[in-house]
Amino acid sequence: MKKRLLFICMANTNRSPTFERYFKKHFPKKFEVKSTGTYYGYPEQLTEKLLIWADKVYCMDLSQELFIKNHFPKYLNKVQVIGISDQYDPDSPELIELIEYWLLKIGGINNGNIL
């Protein structure tokens, strides 16, 4: 069974959708992936339904983790913070490089952090 990953940023326009596309492209047989944001009025809004769906929840920075703590605290056990600031264009080479560095830093996808 595929693991379900949820990537969260503020507006779901740059960081989290880039992670979603990257994982769908590189690991289509290993993961189901979705992305969302914490700000209202943007393409996708974080809901409890998404948090229930996800096996792992990856926040781009601490503000999304705090949002979950304040609105959906019982799901904090699924959350990890990646630590990528909101300064990159979607799918930019710099953001892709950070995704690949993050994967390298956590030991890839087979070390238990993502599995």
Q: What is the pLDDT of residues 12-69, one digit of tens each?
A: 999 999 999 999 999 999 999 999 999 877 767 899 999 999 999 999 999 999 999 9
C-alpha 14/C-alpha 32 separation (Å) is 19
Residue 107: how many CA atoms within 13 Å on its side-chain side?
A: 6
Judged by average pLDDT, the poorest of 50-59, 69-78, 106-115 is: 106-115
Hey, what are 47's tokens? 């809901």
Q: What is the pLDDT of residues 93-107, one digit of tens each?
A: 999 999 999 998 887
Pairing of strands 56-59, 3-9: parallel
Instruction: Give Cβ neighbours of residue 62 (< 8 Å, ≥ 6 apart).
Output: 81
